[in-house]
Amino acid sequence: MSAFADVVARDLRLALRQRGDAVMVVLFFVLTAMLFPFAVGPEPNLLARLAAGVIWVTALLAVLLSLERLFLADFEDGSLELLVLAPTPLSLTVLAKVLAHWLTTGLPLIAAAPLIALLYNMDEAALPVLMLAMLLGTPSLSLTGAVGAALTLGARRGGVLVPLLVLPLYIPVLIFGVAAIDAALAGLSARPYLLFLGAIFLVSSVVAPLASAAALRQAVE
């Protein structure tokens, strides 16, 4: 277990030393969300209707942008080979790296989401559901993204390939994430959608580390 904590601490330390990366993700999130009022017009009711969808789609794209740094630096400087050879199960190492990734991208995104909800004039009553849905949904984004990032290590055009692999797998999170907020806005129970998000999180937290570990082994072979 200490190896798990060590990997998390190492990745967090690396992320803190290069603070720019995490800040960029949040900046991208806020900036992209700011574009929509210009594109569809600043009508408050329309924006309130769009808020949930815009927050989720931009959060999804922001996570997508950050996936590259999950394994690429380790792959290039060779430390990935040491992580693969280490006695700790590789899937556990992957889980630690994904946790660090989520702490430096998912968590800041969740913190920034109320700001966008505010700018979009979203009903404040739905804010707790928005936060809860993102808390349950963004870890799945990091987990699923890890599979895509690991599979494309060393590929030609890796950057364009990741969205093609990962975005289709992100659709369920998007559907249930938005549905939870819409239900809360309509005064219905958001519970079934939140349960779905939780189920997706549980399934991906089992499948994704195994698949990523298999992909990483192929990458360093």
Partner 1 sequence: MNMHRFANPGRFVRLAERILPWTGGLAVLALGIGLYLSLFVSPADYQQGESVRIMYVHVPAAWMALFVYTVIAAASASALIWRHPLADLVARASAPVGAGFTFLALATGSLWGKPMWGTWWVWDARLTSVLVLFFLYLGHMALSNAFDDQSRGNRAAAVLALVGFINVPIIKFSVDWWSTLHQPASVVRLDGPSIHPSMLWPLLIMALGFKLYYVSLLLLRVKGEVMAARLRARSMAALDAT
Q: Do residues 77 and 200 make contact, with C-beta atoms less than 8 angstroms apart? A: no
Q: Binding to partner 1 by residue 99, rule CB under 8 A?
A: no
Q: Binding to partner 1 by residue 159, rule CB under 8 A?
A: no
Q: Do residues 146 and 70 make contact, with C-beta atoms less than 8 angstroms apart? A: yes
- Which pair of tokens denotes residue 78? 């060779």
Q: Binding to partner 1 by residue 158, rule CB under 8 A?
A: yes
Contact residue for partner 1 among 1, 2, 78, 156 (CB under 8 A): 156
Q: Binding to partner 1 by residue 207, rule CB under 8 A?
A: yes
Q: Do residues 70 and 145 make contact, with C-beta atoms less than 8 angstroms apart? A: yes
Q: Is the Cα dihedral 176, 60, 31, 38 positive or negative?
A: negative
Q: Binding to partner 1 by residue 218, rule CB under 8 A?
A: yes
Contact residue for partner 1 among 72, 161, 198, 199 (CB under 8 A): 161
Report in angstroms how near the CB of residue 217 gets to partner 1 at its nearest: 9
Q: Binding to partner 1 by residue 128, rule CB under 8 A?
A: no
Q: Binding to partner 1 by residue 165, rule CB under 8 A?
A: yes
Q: Which one, 128 or 192, has the nearer CB to partner 1?
A: 192
Q: Do residues 143 and 70 make contact, with C-beta atoms less than 8 angstroms apart? A: no
- Which pair of tokens denotes residue 7? 């990997």
Q: Which of residues 169-188 bind partner 1 (CB under 8 A)?
A: 169, 171, 175
Contact residue for partner 1 among 60, 147, 183, 190 (CB under 8 A): 147
Angle at the Cα of 148 from the Cα atoms of 143 and 151, rounded to 5 degrees = 125
- Looking at residue 177, its amino acid is G
Residue among 67, 58, 73, 68 at smallest CA distance from 26? 58
Binding positions for partner 1, rule: CB under 8 A: 147, 151-152, 154-158, 161, 164-165, 167-169, 171, 175, 203, 207-208, 211, 214-215, 218-219, 221
